[in-house]
């Protein structure tokens, strides 16, 4: 059976990146920036008046979710 594990270098790179996100966004200034990003990038409603605007909203939300995922990854000890 093939080994489906990601290469160790890739895992270490994700670990390091997640730690950087965590340290950045848990600092006092980082918390304020994260709150601002949430307000800007995580709208209450994704559906807009055109498909293009909806796609734009989804992309912005995905960026915020990525930040949250990286922070959770770091919090959980990778």
pLDDT for the residue numbered 68: 96
pLDDT for the residue numbered 62: 97
Q: 77: which DSSP letter?
A: T
Beta strands (DSSP E) in the chain are none
Residue 11 — pLDDT band, cuts 50, 70, 90?
very high
Which one is predicted more confidently, 10 or 77? 10
pLDDT for 56-67, tens place per residue? 999 999 999 999
pLDDT for the residue numbered 2: 66
Asked if 22 contacts 75 with a C-beta cutoff of 8 angstroms, the reply is yes
Q: Where are the domains of the chain?
A: 11-75
pTM reported for the whole predicted model: 0.84
Q: In the predicted model, what is the mean pLDDT of residues 15-29?
A: 97
Q: How far apart are the first and last CA of the chain?
A: 26
């Amino acid at each position: 059976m093939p080994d489906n594990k990601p290469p160790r270098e890739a895992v270490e790179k994700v670990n390091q990146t997640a730690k950087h996100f965590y340290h950045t966004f848990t600092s006092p200034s980082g918390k304020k920036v994260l709150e601002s990003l949430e307000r800007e990038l995580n709208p209450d409603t994704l559906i807009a008046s055109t498909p293009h605007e909806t796609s734009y909203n989804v992309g912005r939300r995905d960026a915020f979710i990525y930040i949250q995922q990286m922070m959770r990854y770091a919090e959980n000890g990778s």
